[in-house]
Each structure stands twice: as structure tokens, then as C-alpha cells.
Amino acid sequence: MLSKKDDKKDSKQLSYKKFTVDFTSPLENKLLTLESVLHYLQTNMKLNGLKGKLGKTIMISMDDLKKNKNVIVISVDSSIKFSKRYIRYLVKKYLKKEGIAKYLTLSATSPGAYAVKVIKKNEA
């Protein structure tokens, strides 16, 4: 029979966090490709001080939301303690590297999600 301490350990191991980044707007305007963003995140994300060695603890993938087929997101699933702010840092770093940071903005849409949107200039 398992004790309460063993139950708590098992529940901590099974818990995970899921973060999403919505790239629908820049993809519609053909400012970037989703594959290049996905590759950048996989190669530059650090785990225990090592770049690109994520193992089974962090999974990065492309998702089509079933409700809206036009919405395309990158999801980051983590089975360890992981910061949402780190994903924001890496996406902003990618946008600056590609030279499109001045045309796009990254904003939080919910506690577990970001959205990359095109900045619209006011026409006067």
C-alpha cells in the first residue's frame, strides 16, 4: 500500500506544463516560416546548461488547433519546472536575429500562451 508521501512524489513526476506560441499573423503575411522557428527553439533552448539536449523532459512541436484550422501554434510541453518567460526570451531573440522584430510584437494572451502579431502603423 502506498503512503501519502509516495502519492505526492508520483503526482509531481506526472505533472507537466504546456506553453503555446501563436504564429498565425506572421505566417499569413509570409514574414517567417514555422519550421525555422521550431528549429531555432530546439537548437537554442538550454536544459541544465546544455543547448539543444532536451531529451524527454521538454517536447517542442507544431500544432494545428482543431477549433480553428487557420490557427497554427508551437507548443512546448515540459515535465519539469520551466519558465514561460524563457520561451518569450527565445522567441524575441529569434525575431531580432531574423531582422523582423520591428514589424512583430509578442504579447501574452493567457497564463500559458503567447501570440506573435504584426504591428500595424497608423496611416495618416
Every domain of the chain and the residues it spans: 17-118
pLDDT over 50 (residue 99)? yes
- Which pLDDT band holds residue 39 (cuts at 50, 70, 90)? very high
43-88, pLDDT tens digit by residue?
Answer: 999 988 888 888 888 888 887 655 566 778 898 989 888 889 999 9
Helix (H) or strand (E) holding 7: helix 4-14
Class of domain 17-118 as given by CATH? alpha beta
